[in-house]
Chains A and B, each alone.
Chain A
Amino acid sequence: MTKDECKQVVLDIIAEIAPDEDLSDVKGDVALREQLDLDSMDFLDIVMELRKQHSIEVPEADYVQLASLDSCAEYLTPKFNALV
């Protein structure tokens, strides 16, 4: 999986948990919470969907890694590739 593909996986999850948001222009280097109406419960949803849909575990200490699309891609891409 490439980092761009990983970002798309994250965006697909956000589309499910925040269906009212416009995701057409989410900037990779800006915190998701600064661009989208996401709260802490929504981030727990992201963690849960990564677990359910992709068998990816994100320990609580690593939640900060999900702050932006770029940091998500940096953190999650190796995890996805380790699954294969």
Chain B
Amino acid sequence: MALSRVVITGVGLTSPNGNTLEEFRRSLLEGKGGISRIDMRYMGQVLAGVCDFEATKYQRRKDLRVGTRAGSISIYCAREALADAGIEVDQLDAKRTGIYVGTTEHGNVETENEVYNISQFDYDTKFWSHHHNPRTVSNNPAGEVSLNLKVHGPAYTIGAACAAGNLGLIQGMQMLQLGEVDFAIAGGVSESIRSFGIFAGFKSQGALAEHEDPNKASRPFDKDRNGIVVSEGGALYTLERLEDAQARGAKIYGEIVGYKINSDATDYVLPNPERQAECMRGALEKAGMQPSDIHIVSTHATATPLGDIQECEAVREVFADCPDTHINNTKGYIGHAMGAAGSLELAGNLPSFEDGLVHPTINVDNLDPKCDLPGLVINEAKQAKRVDAILNNSFGMLGINSALIIKRFSN
């Protein structure tokens, strides 16, 4: 069965260094980060990537009070993606529109808030909010979008640790190809900076970054990297079948031509480069492409000492002898946006189809020899001969791996 081709027709995002694709891209090319110190309950100050999008642009203040930050980020990104795609909300066929939001986790923030709330009342549970359950159900971020847009199609989240941004896109693509929906809003979001547990967990694991300069703390591939900076953010895309996009004369950012999801089955937190390499190869096979056809590999590397080396092993093996393949990373600018990471990092690279520039990995003052990949773009943007295809890696705990390939659109 020939499956429909699926294309990206709109991008909506919020990142610690930009609230539109244009702003985000400019920050990436100018080396502008977005990390700051914030107060964290029980922990004092921590480093985090905080977004400053205008939440009331698409929501009432009451909706912000009742809903969740993940829901608000999702609504902002969905509405911005629709606007970018040139589609008014009332033009959507409500029954045929699907919403697929990748999340690393959901419910930690709201549960921690309620536990803190009742701690102020001697842990009497009669002070526990009736909003807790609708806030913490796993589908909350996608459900809030469906409420906001008044669309009736399938709206749910895809829980996939920090691979979730890619998985949201893959789910959206598959539902279009199955004919379950005619229009998809898909990607990933994260509200994780509002959960002390996420930070405390990484700290206990020895994986929470620290640096006197917040914007030097997240440093993938640098020898002195010391862990993750947790960030919030989101990137949702409008996806359409090619024939539908062309019929309405849509702007096409690129075509999703390949993907692969697999599992390490080796450890709760440690990655497995062999499975990561298999994942990238699987995506290439699905796309009918060779490694040398990829011009940008957007790595997942989170700046943990071991994780970066292991991904580099996998990338080195798959992309050996590919002189036109450039390799970069986004986390030096924005930290680790968790469930949003995959979709945000892809967004930052999409404009390369237009300008041919490969944004660099920043904060590499002392390149780790074990991360010294051929084609690694560090500290300064590089003009590529051409950029026709991007492979976007996103990996997560419990050994979930994903690779997504986007190709410059061509008839």
Contact = CB atoms under 8 A, between A and B. Distances in A.
B65 interface: yes
> Which secondary structure characterizes the binding site on chain B?
helix
A48 B62 contact: no
B129 A19 contact: no
B116 interface: no
A17 interface: yes
A17 B131 CA distance: 12
Contacts of B126: 51
Given A19-B61, A19-B62, A41-B66, A51 B131 contact: no
Contacts of A48: 127, 129-130
A62 interface: no
**Chain B interface residue count: which class?**
10 to 19
A51 B118 CA distance: 12
Interface residues of A, number: 11
Contacts of B66: 41
Interface in A16-43: 17-20, 37, 41
Given A18-B62, A19-B61, A20-B62, A44 B121 contact: no
A56 B61 CA distance: 26
B130 A44 contact: yes
Contacts of A44: 130
Contacts of B62: 17-20, 37
B130 A20 contact: no
B160 to A, nearest CB: 31
B60 interface: yes
Contacts of B129: 48
A57 B66 CA distance: 22
B130 A52 contact: no
A45 B127 CA distance: 11
Contacts of B65: 17, 19
Contacts of A52: 121, 127
Interface in B115-151: 121, 126-127, 129-131
A14 to B, nearest CB: 11
A74 B9 CA distance: 58
B127 A20 contact: no
A39 to B, nearest CB: 10
Contacts of A51: 126-127
Interface in B48-81: 60-62, 65-66
A22 to B, nearest CB: 13
22 contacts: A17-B62, A17-B65, A18-B62, A19-B61, A19-B62, A19-B65, A20-B60, A20-B61, A20-B62, A37-B62, A41-B66, A41-B130, A41-B131, A44-B130, A45-B130, A48-B127, A48-B129, A48-B130, A51-B126, A51-B127, A52-B121, A52-B127
9 closest A-B pairs (Cβ-Cβ)?
A19-B61, A20-B60, A44-B130, A20-B61, A20-B62, A18-B62, A19-B62, A52-B127, A41-B130
